[in-house]
Structure 1
Amino acid sequence: MEGDYDVDYQADTIYDGLKNINHNETDAYTQELRISSNNKGGIRWVAGFYLDSEEYIQNPLGMQYPYYDGSGVFYGNFDYLAESEMDTTTYAAFGQAMVPLTERFELTLGGRYQHIDKEVDVDIYSLPVGTTGLPFSSFSGEKDWDTFLPKAALSFALSDNFHTYVSYSRGYMPGGFNPFASSGTVEDNSFEPQKSANYEIGIKGRLNRLRLAANIFYMDIDDIHIYKSDGVNLYTDNADSAHSQGVELELAYKLTETVELTGSLGFIEAQYDTYEAGNGISFDGKDIENTPSYTATAGASYKHPCGFYGRIDMRAAGKTSFFDDANNSFVEDDAYVVLDAKIGYLTGGWDFYVYGKNLADEEYVTYFMSGTRHSLAEYGQPLTIGAGLRYRF
């Protein structure tokens, strides 16, 4: 991927004509060997091995900037760029067994052992635009992580159509290196894996034309990944601990043979428990960014045997926090509702359709980033109307 963007996303500034640069390339190989039982009853199991090898080349990542000395003398426009190569190798072995305990109780036990090794080489350049030269800083590092991720669940059949369950599992997001490593040790320029203990209790089933699923969950998170800036570079780091808890409900109802209604509702509280941001600043108790306080969907679909179909969908999200790095605080975007619709006709392998997205032209923020030079907010897609033609072989 090659991406070049305006540095400050503004006009008539000293950055006019300069750009942010993000050129990267990924080469990945993945292989999985899976063996499973073919029992329809009794004990069922699955086991296997997993291998993933990835080479990620960032060449380059950075920005262009006008260079002024302390007295205001202009020395020209400069590139501040990082060229890096990160090699990641992942090995894993996994297994799971479903064991009937009685006619109504079933126990599921599983686990995954995983080894991840990462190596990185980084060169940092600060040179006049259009020139070449030696890096002013280089960094090489290697780290590996081992983890075991267990899973246990117990389900109880209330009837032929409904069952309840309780489950426990461990979650994991790998650690890594930041691409702008200009000084310090391996520990200074890396971040640790994010780990979580996940608890859930729920019910699933169907009654005549109705399908439903509901659950209550709690996640206890350690070394949660955070994203911040040192004034120039954006990088990943860890906060000590956090938690997430909530309830979710999903429904589907077959109103007639041609009409189906669907809906979902979820409430979530996601907060940092311990987050020391440095310089005496604490974000303990703050909402985790990019996590709406609630989400909701509602939809109705129509499909006639002759080929005509239509669908209308609503999705809503509650207030969402974003980290304001420039001011060491959090900002909130208001709740919003988006309405989409689509109608079409199927015949043979052909699909003719027209659609509308965000029909009320709602404005809502999907991403926010702030720094010492500027802030950037990205919005969801505006009102979009289109038509399409598709053929399935």
Structure 2
Amino acid sequence: MKAMKRSTLATLINATLFSAVAGTSFTTLAEEEQANSNQLEVIQITARKRVENAQEVPVSVSALQGDNLDAYSSAGMDIRFMNAKIPSLSVESSFGRTFPRFYVRGLGNTDFDLNASQPVSLVVDEVVQENPILKGFPVFDIERIEVLRGPQGTLFGRNTPAGLVKFDSVKPSQEFDGYASVAYGSRESVDFEGAVGTGLTDKISTRVSVLWQEQPDYIDVRSPEGVTNQFAKDDSLGGYSEKAARIQFLYEGDDFTGLLNYHVRDLDGRPIPFRANLIEKGSNNINPIYDNDVVYHDAASRAVQEVETQGLSLKLEWDLAEHTVTSITAWESAEIYSRADIDGAYGNAFAPAMGPGKIPFSSETADALPEHDQYTQELRLSSNYSGDFNYQVGVFLFEEEMTIESFSFDTGVFDTAAGQYGLQNGYAIQNQDTSAWAVFGSFDYTLSEKLDVTLGLRYSDDEKEFYAKRTDNPTPWNGSPDFLEGSANPSDSHVSWDLSATYKLTDDINLFGRLANGFRAPSVQGRIVFGDEVTVAESETTNSIEFGVKSDVLDGQGRVNATVFYYQMDDQQLTAVGGGSNFNRLINADKTTGYGFELDTEWVLTDELNATFNLSYNNTELDDANLAVAVCNQCTVTDPTYMVEGPNGPEARAILDGNSLPHAPEWIANATLRYTKELEGGDFFVYADTSYRSKINFFLYESVEFEGKALFETGVRAGYAWASGDNEYETSVFVRNLFDEQVVIGGVDFNNNTGMLNEERFIGAEFKVRFF
């Protein structure tokens, strides 16, 4: 069985790679056969801040748009739908529908603090979304998603040593158009989104986009075996009510355009449910006592997640014949309060009863971002020469102010009548101000009809002022005082660069190579409600080399792009999450290396059948003989360990040298197939997609229990589309996670073998209308 799978995979890879190398031969064969008018559309992207053909850009980039984007993101899906849908990209969250963590080529950050810095930047409508809460804005009325792999330290710069995820919403136009869709699905979920755009005058147009998603609580709180759970209640967790809107105004003059964008989000829901002893000790199997809709909490009634974000941006652009001047001024703000039963269980070792399994101690915590403001300004000058040389130069300013609160609550006392249960017993506050600025330039030169080269440079300067204060210690037995202060003021500057070239081998095949350097400024971690130390991670830098081919084959009916890469990251910023002492610390790894390949393919198989197949391989390795972290209390650690004296007694430390990075799957594969058939004046269609992500480690150290199994998910959508008058209609039924694949997707290691599950099978129906 294994041999057959390996042979099939090898055949697919070899066939696809061969078509990339021998594209001219396939084109010749296609010309000899009957010509087919069904050709793949040209994908226009803005990966380099100007509109370009994706096949001519010397960057490993994937674009998600059209049918693929609609199918993946529809009917209540949050931004995590992107996980494993693009080569070398994975997405996860321990908060649920907010605070997504992106990983590109294995590089990311598992830190769950609201001050966490990530090496993968998210840019929405040309505005960087720095704080992790900003990154969870819902996906609706989006024209295109681009994923740029490898350091993007020149044009985008800030926190992009691993890559960049870029969202572009549909813009206003003079033409009247819009759409509305409503879906109903499993667990009584309802999803509505719509947009309408039109010209207000001959120079001013607008577009209004809205989203409303709702799902009632459906997860039951049950009693552990042999325990009377006074907090048992049906339909306690899993629900949410999500509202979001975007309004845009576009002014188009003869030589000037201005775009105003206001967006707002309001989420009232529940955090992702944690499940105590979800993972069976000595294995990474799911404990059979659990169903997806069952937990054994004692604090579910207080679990809440409330998020509010809003932002305003103004893009002004002047066309000066041979130059274009662009100014982008933006403000973003976020607020969150998230409270959850982190131990995922009932009771603890000091209570009269507990379960399921052994619960060393209770943990109910909350995190809040009561104040946050981000201001950015970008000003750039781009040339529009008709000759061989063109350039972009600019300046970027960034200011961020935020306050973070951390709370702990006492769930170790069950005297509810006395009003003691769940009272606050720990509190800490963080304040951070960040000031950064950069100047950048990108210079393009056509050396010949076949060869183009680009040189990029960016100077970045970053400074943080951080202060943390604890006024209530939830663990007084460790000898730490209630009142504790800490501060840090790290700063650094760096010159990032890249050098790339594109060589036109034929009219249909482009070869490219790229050398790039990326930079992430120092980070601060001061979540001192647990722990007594403010930690700082020094700056990290990345050097990357990649080569690739981008080809259109079969006379435009196929497209094959392939990239091989190698990178070395020096002083990588890592977060030692949890461990027996339950304290997050920032650390630096001396060196991290990674290598692999990415493959993007797209095919028009017949007049009625389209397909895509994508694949990536990523190998990551920590290279630091002196790097060690605290480990779990109850799991089976497979790394070499040694003992040290910790705040609560002797603690084990795992040596990380040679480990792969956490949440870094070696293999990601996905495929789609769309069949369309004309039927009774309309089109019947079936759309199927499947994605595969190989096994992952949840933490920096390796253990039997906290190795996540491979995740294989399939979706199917079938429906009928027709036109009537000026409108287009579509009705469909769909299913996500068709085979109801259930795996553990994350863990909590400081208490017991606690984990989180992926979403179970979801079935729904949708109706959509597009009007013009």
Bin the TM-score by the shorter chain: 0.7 to 0.9
Measured against aligned partners, the alpha-carbon deviations of 1:334-388 in whole angstroms (never above 9, x if no partner) come to 32311012234555365543321111111233322311x2343222211111233
Q: How does 1:162-201 map to 2 (within 5 A)?
A: 162-181=509-528, 189-201=535-547
How far apart are 1:303 and its partner, in Å? Answer: 4.9
Deviation at 1:38, TM superposition (A): 2.2
Letter in 1 for 2:426: Y
Residue number in structure 1 paired with 2:715: 340
Among candidates 245, 250, 259, match of residue 600 of structure 2: 250
What pairs up with 1:218-257 in 2 under 5 angstroms? 218-228=566-576, 229=578, 231-257=581-607
Q: Could you say which residue in structure 1 is the equivalent of 2:693?
A: 317
Q: CA deviation at 1:151?
A: 0.4
**Letter of the structure 1 residue corresponding to residue 527 of structure 2:** F
| Counterpart-to-counterpart distance in 1, 2:430 and 2:406 | 8
Distance in 2 (CA, whole Å) between partners of 1:210 and 1:28 is: 43
1:63 partnered with 2:63: no
Structure-2 change in CA distance of 1:115 and 1:270 (3 Å)? same
Contact 1:252–1:262 under 8 Å retained in 2: yes
Change (3 A) 1:328 1:296: closer
Question: d(CA) in 2 for partners of 1:392 and 1:41?
Answer: 43
Is 1:259 matched with 2:609? yes
Aligned to 1:71: none
Q: CA deviation at 1:259?
A: 2.5
Deviations 1:155-179 (A, max 9, x none): 2110111111111101223321112
User: What SS is found at the alignment partner of 2:739?
Assistant: coil
Cα offset for 1:324?
A: 6.8
The alignment covers a number of residue pairs equal to 377
Change (3 A) 1:308 1:272: same
In the alignment, which residue of structure 2 is the partner of 1:92?
Answer: 438
- Flag the 1:352–1:24 CA change in 2: closer, same or farther, 3 A: farther
State the alpha-carbon separation in 2 of the partners of residues 198 and 224 from structure 1: 14
The Cα of 1:234 is off from its aligned counterpart by 2.1
1:10 is aligned to 345
Which stretch of the first structure deviates more once superposed, 244-253 or 225-234?
Answer: 225-234
Task: Quote the residue 1:367 is aligned against.
Answer: 746
Could you list the per-position Cα deviations for residues 63-111 of structure 1 after superposition, in whole angstroms to 9, with x for gaps in the alignment? Answer: 224689xxxxxx9966222211111122111111111112211111001
Tell me how far 1:389 sits from its aligned partner: 4.0
Q: Does 173-182 or 105-114 show the bigger shift?
A: 173-182
**Separation of aligned partners in 1, 2:589 and 2:377:** 33
Match of residue 426 from structure 2: 80
- Hey, what does 2:504 align to over in structure 1? 157
Q: Work out whether 1:115 is the aligned partner of 2:461.
A: yes
Native 8 Å contact 2:491 2:521 kept in 1: no
CA offsets 1:121-167 (integer angstroms, 9 cap, x no match): 211122689xxxx9601123212121111000122110111111111
Deviations 1:220-270 (A, max 9, x none): 011112222361322332221111100111110112344311011111111
1:256, 1:242 → 2: CA distance?
45
Partners of 2:386 and 2:735 in 1: how far apart? 44
- Which structure carries more helix by proportion? 2
Closer, same or farther: CA 308–28 of 1 in aligned 2, 3 Å: farther
Match of 2:764 in 1: 386
Residue type at the aligned position of 2:337 = E
Worse overlay, 301-310 or 221-230 = 301-310
2:382 and 2:590 map into 1 onto residues whose CA distance is 39
Change (3 A) 1:163 1:354: same
Q: Structure 1 pair 233/173, CA: closer, same or farther in 2 (3 Å)?
A: same
Q: Residue 323 of structure 1 aligns to which amino acid in structure 2?
A: F
Query: 1:214 matched to which residue of 2?
Result: 562
Q: TM-score, normalised by structure 2?
A: 0.45
The answer to whether the Cα contact below 8 Å between 2:661 and 2:700 also exists between their aligned partners in 1 is no
- Cα deviation, residue 180, structure 1: 2.6
Supply the distance in 1 between the matched residues of 2:730 and 2:433 (Cα, whole angstroms): 43
Q: Is the 8 A contact 1:175 1:191 kept in 2?
A: yes
- Displacement, 1:283? 1.5
Give 2:341's aligned amino acid.
Answer: D
> Which of 645, 656, 659 pairs up with 1:286?
659
SS in 1 for 2:756: strand
TM-score (normalised: structure 1): 0.86
Three-state SS of the structure 2 residue aligned to 1:219 is: strand
CA separation in 1, counterparts of 2:687 and 2:339? 38
Contact 1:210-1:252 within 8 A present in 2 as well = yes
User: 1:141 maps to which residue?
Assistant: 488
- Kindly indicate whether residue 368 of structure 2 is the aligned counterpart of residue 23 of structure 1: yes
User: How far apart, in 2, do the equivalents of 1:95 and 1:365 lie?
Assistant: 45
Decide whether aligned partners of structure 1 residues 249 and 54 sit closer, same or farther in structure 2, where only a CA change above 3 A counts.
same
Do 2:428 and 2:472's aligned partners in 1 also have CA atoms closer than 8 Å? no
Whether 1:295 aligns to 2:705 is no
For 2:474 and 2:583, the matched residues in 1 are separated by 19
Which stretch of structure 1 is more off in the superposition, 21-30 or 114-123?
21-30
Unaligned segments of structure 1, at least 5 residues: 69-74
SS in 2 for 1:288: coil
Distance 1:193 1:258 in 2: 52
Compared with structure 1, are the counterparts of its residues 116 and 388 closer, same or farther at alpha carbon in structure 2 (3 Å cutoff)? farther
Letter in 2 for 1:316: Y
Rounded Cα–Cα distance in structure 1 between residues aligned with 2:695 and 2:493: 37
Residues 108 and 391 of structure 1, relative CA distance in 2, 3 Å threshold: same
Shift, 1:42, TM fit = 1.9
Q: Give the match's secondary structure for 2:347.
A: coil
Write the letter of the residue equivalent to 2:628. A
Is the 2:601–2:613 contact (alpha carbons within 8 Å) kept by the matching residues of 1?
yes
Instruction: Verify the 8 A CA contact 1:117 1:142 in the aligned structure 2.
Output: yes
Greater Cα shift, 10-19 or 197-206: 10-19
Would you say the 8 A contact 1:7–1:63 is kept in 2? Answer: no
Could you tell me which runs of 5 or more consecutive residues in structure 2 were left unpaired when the two chains were aligned: 1-335, 355-361, 414-419, 476-480, 630-643, 645-652
Among candidates 342, 348, 354, match of residue 733 of structure 2: 354
Identity between Structure 1 and Structure 2 (%)? 23
Letter in 1 for 2:752: H
Q: In structure 1, what is the Cα distance between the partners aligned to 2:757 and 2:745? A: 5
> Which whole-Å CA distance do the structure 2 matches of 1:281 and 1:18 have between them?
24
Q: Is the 8 A contact 1:91 1:114 kept in 2?
A: yes
1:269 to 602, 610, 619: 619
- 3-state SS in 2 of match to 1:155: strand
Offset at residue 217 of structure 1 (A): 0.3
Evaluate the alpha carbon distance shift between residue 177 and residue 66 of structure 1 in structure 2; reply closer, same or farther with a 3 A threshold: same
- Partner SS, residue 3 of structure 1: strand
For 1:107 and 1:118, locate their aligned partners in 2 and report how far apart those are by CA, in whole Å: 36
Q: Distance between the aligned counterparts of 1:11 and 1:352, measured in 2?
A: 45
Of 351-360 and 274-283, deviating more is 274-283
Please give the alpha-carbon distance, in whole angstroms, between the structure 2 residues aligned to 1:217 and 1:296: 17
